[in-house]
Amino acid sequence: MATRTSPNIIITGTPGVGKTTHCELLAERTGLKHLSVNQVVKDRECHEGWDDEFQSWIVDEDKLLDAIEEEAKEGGCIIDWHACDLFPKSWIDLVVVLRTDTTTLYDRLSARKYPEAKLQENLDSEIMEVLLEEARESYDEEIVVELQSTTADEMDTNVDRIEDWLKQWKADNGT
Ligand code: DAT
């Protein structure tokens, strides 16, 4: 049984699906803490350098887990990252996998000027449902939720749903 008084939520999905936007809105509405893993990796140097082809940090997962362990144990974190299988099951209460269609994702990633290889890899990953599979393999089925994130209305509905879930979690855990 977790000793957290507030749950930890992972918001995951392919880059460009809307993780950061959802996390920011959710943090604003709930007071939970938005833990941008990208930022943590950069700020607390949990990496082995920069991958030029993919324009991203090569993450040192052990360092990353050490860096966020204390916050995770306290609870109340919204973890924003395009992977989820590295976090210990005991830390996590809800895993939200955001999804969108290929055309939308292509437009969002092109707007970011992603290099061709990175853009294609991410489109493939969304089509192959890589993150959904990873979430389902890593966590109990009942805590994994797939939500669509193509329109602003969907985002609002998603955040409402997660807020409702949070209220229920607190009621169930007497906090
Ligand atoms: P991520 O953190 O998953 O990489 P993001 O939150 O930075 O994604 O979103 C990428 C872009 O897409 C950003 O300009 C906001 C937009 N976007 C994301 N989800 C959306 C949605 N459900 N409706 C409209 N725009 C959205």
**What are the residues whose beta carbons fall under 8 Å from the beta carbon of 69, sequence distance 6 or more?**
none
H helices then E strands: how many in the chain? 7, 7
Q: Contact 127/43 with Cβ under 8 angstroms?
A: no
Cβ-contact 98, 18 below 8 angstroms: yes
- pLDDT of 17: 98
19 alpha carbon to ligand 1 midpoint, in Å? Answer: 7
Geometric angle at alpha carbon 170, from 83 and 92, rounded to 5°: 20
Pocket test for ligand 1, best of 108, 125, 130, 156 (most atoms within 8 A of CB): 108
Ligand 1: distance of its center to the CA of 121 in Å? 18
Q: Given this model, what pLDDT does residue 172 score?
A: 95
Which residue owns the Cα nearest ligand 1 atom 13?
18
Ligand 1, CB cutoff 6 Å, lining residues:
13, 15-21, 108, 149-152, 154-155
* 15 three-class SS: coil
- For residue 16, report the distance from its CA to the centre of ligand 1, in Å: 6
What pLDDT, on the 0 to 100 scale, is given for residue 91?
A: 97
> At 95, phi and psi to the nearest 5?
-120, 115
| Ligand 1 centroid – CA 71 distance (Å) | 26
Query: From atom 16 of ligand 1, which residue's Cα is the shortest distance away?
Result: 18
What's the pLDDT score for residue 2? 61
Instruction: Provide the whole-model pTM.
Output: 0.96
* Chain centroid, CA 106 distance in Å: 19
pLDDT in tens, the chain (175 residues): 567 999 999 999 999 999 999 999 999 999 999 999 999 999 999 999 999 887 889 999 999 999 999 999 999 999 999 999 999 999 999 999 999 999 999 999 999 999 899 999 999 999 999 999 999 999 999 999 999 999 999 999 999 999 999 999 999 998 8
23 CA closest ligand 1 atom index: 6
